[in-house]
Amino acid sequence: MKAKSVFNGMSAYKPGKQIEEVKRELGLDRIIKLASNENPFGYSSKVDQVVKDSANHFELYPDGYATAIREEISQDLNIDGDQLVFGCGSDEVIDFICRSYLDEGDNTIMATPTFPQYKHNAIIQGATSKEIPLINGYHDLQGMLDAIDENTRVVWLCSPNNPTGCIINQPSLETFLEACPRDVMVVMDEAYVEYISADDAPDSLSYIKEYPNLVVLRTFSKAYGLAGLRIGFGVCDMTVANILNIARGPFNTTKLAQFAALEAYRDQTFITETVKTTNRNKFEFMEFLDRMDLDYYDSETNFVLVKLPVSGDSMFDYLLKNGFIVRSGEALGIPNSVRITIGKKDDMLLLEAHIKTFLRALEDDTV
Ligand code: PMP
C-alpha cells in the first residue's frame, strides 16, 4: 500500500524511555523524570474523588459537546461556549487547525526551534513550513511578518515557547496582530500560561474580539497536572470554532477527562500553589546555575533550557545514570543545552549535586 508521499522521510513520535524501563536497565530504585514539563505536584486532590464517582457506565459515549467543562470555562473566561473547541490534548486542536486550514500549496510560519507538532501536522497536509530562527530564545516577530506571503494561512506563536521558555509580551503581540493580514490565522499556543509571572505578558484572550483570526490554545496537561487524561482546548471566534469542530471527532475527549478537567479547573487554589512552589524552585535553580556559571534562557514556564559547554547528550547520559531523565537540547534543535523541568525541592537539590559533579568531572576531563 502506498501512503501519501508527504510521509516519505517522516517518522512517528518516539516517546522517551518509560520510567520502569530505565529503572530495570540501570538497576536504579528511583527515577525522577524532569523531561516532559509535567507537574511534579500532581493535580488537585479533588480530581481523584470525582474520577472515582464518575468511573461508571463506560458502555455509554461521553458528552460529545463536553457541556459541563464548556460552561465552566466559558463563564469563567466571559466568552460564548461556542467559542471553545476541546481536543484530546491541545495536540489534537493543533491537528484540527492543520486539517481545516492547510492544503497543498499553502505555507505556514513558525519559529525554530519551537513545539514540533505545528510542522509535523502541516507536512501531513502537504503544506510547507517557513521556520524563522528565534533570537536569544524569543520569537523574531518582524521576521515572521516579513515571511508572510499570499500563500500563508497560519502563523504559530508559542508563548511561552517550548523549548526556550521565553514569552511574547503584550506590546509585541499587539503590534504583530495589527500588522498581520486578517485572512492569516494566528495561533497563540499558551500551554504554559499559568506559570507566567512577567508583568508585560498579554491577556491573549482579550484580543479575539478585535482579531477574529486569533486562536488561543490552552491545556490541562501542564499546571493542571492532567497530562495522562489528554484534554486541552482552543478559544477563538465562533466561526473558526465551527470549522474546527467539523474536523473534530464526535467523542474525542473522554468522560473521565471531562470530569477531571472540570474539577481541576474549579480548584484554582491548587494552581496558585503549584505555580508559587514551581517558581520558587525555579528561581533557586537559576541561582544555582548562576553560581555554576551556566547560562540559561529566560523562562516563564516550569522548565529551564540550560546552555552547556558540552553536548546536551553528554549531560543527559550522565544524569540518566544517576536517576534523572532530562531532555537533551540536541533532540530539541538547540545543541549544547539541556531542558530541565522544575521538580520538587529535594529532587532539585539532588539534581544540582549531580550537575556539580558532572561539571567538576568536565574540568578534570573525566567525563
Ligand atoms: N503546546 C506546547 C507548547 C507544548 O509544550 C505541549 C506539550 N508538550 C503541547 C502544546 C501539547 O500538550 P497537550 O497535547 O498535552 O495538551
Q: Report which protein residue has its CA nearest ligand 1's atom 1.
A: 191
CA–CA separation, 271 and 89 (whole Å):
18
Q: Report which protein residue has its CA nearest ligand 1's atom 2.
A: 191
Of 25, 3, 121, the residue nearest 323 (C-alpha): 25
pLDDT in tens, 113-137: 999 999 999 999 999 999 999 999 9
Q: Which fold has domain 5-43+269-362?
A: Aspartate Aminotransferase, domain 1 (3.90.1150)
Regarding the beta carbon of 231 and ligand 1, being less than 6 Å apart is answered no
Position 18 scores a pLDDT of 81
Query: What percent of the chain is predicted at pLDDT more than 90?
Result: 90
For the chain, residues with pLDDT lower than 50 are none
Q: What is the 3-state secondary structure (H, E, C) of 48-116?
A: HHHHHHHCCCCCCCCCCCCHHHHHHHHHHHCCCHHHEEEECCHHHHHHHHHHHHCCCCCEEEEEECCCC
* Domain ranges for the chain: 5-43+269-362, 47-266
Residue 222 alpha carbon, nearest atom of ligand 1: 15
Distance from CA of residue 164 to its chain's centroid? Answer: 11
Q: Which amino acid is at 199?
A: D
Residue 192 alpha carbon, nearest atom of ligand 1: 3
Q: Report which protein residue has its CA nearest ligand 1's atom 6.
A: 191
Position 185 scores a pLDDT of 98
Regarding the beta carbon of 125 and ligand 1, being less than 6 Å apart is answered no
Residue 160 alpha carbon, nearest atom of ligand 1: 3
Position 13 scores a pLDDT of 83
CA–CA separation, 141 and 175 (whole Å):
9
Residue 114 alpha carbon, nearest atom of ligand 1: 3
Can you give the C-alpha Rg of the chain in angstroms?
21
CATH class for domain 47-266? Answer: alpha beta
Regarding the beta carbon of 95 and ligand 1, being less than 6 Å apart is answered no
pTM of the model: 0.97
Regarding the beta carbon of 193 and ligand 1, being less than 6 Å apart is answered no
How many A from CA of 166 to the centre of ligand 1? 15
How many A from CA of 198 to the centre of ligand 1? 21
C-alpha cell at 255: 468522560
How many A from CA of 29 to the centre of ligand 1? 29
Of 245, 250, 243, 246, the residue nearest 233 (C-alpha): 245
Position 363 scores a pLDDT of 87
Residue 161 alpha carbon, nearest atom of ligand 1: 3
Q: Report which protein residue has its CA nearest ligand 1's atom 13.
A: 89
| 98 phi and psi angles, rounded to 5 deg | -65, -40
Position 17 scores a pLDDT of 72
CA–CA separation, 350 and 324 (whole Å):
9
Position 265 scores a pLDDT of 98
Regarding the beta carbon of 225 and ligand 1, being less than 6 Å apart is answered no
Regarding the beta carbon of 164 and ligand 1, being less than 6 Å apart is answered no
Residue 162 alpha carbon, nearest atom of ligand 1: 3
How many A from CA of 191 to the centre of ligand 1? 6
Residue 230 alpha carbon, nearest atom of ligand 1: 15
C-alpha cell at 236: 477563538
How many A from CA of 116 to the centre of ligand 1? 10
C-alpha cell at 349: 537539590
Pairing of strands 185-189, 214-219: parallel
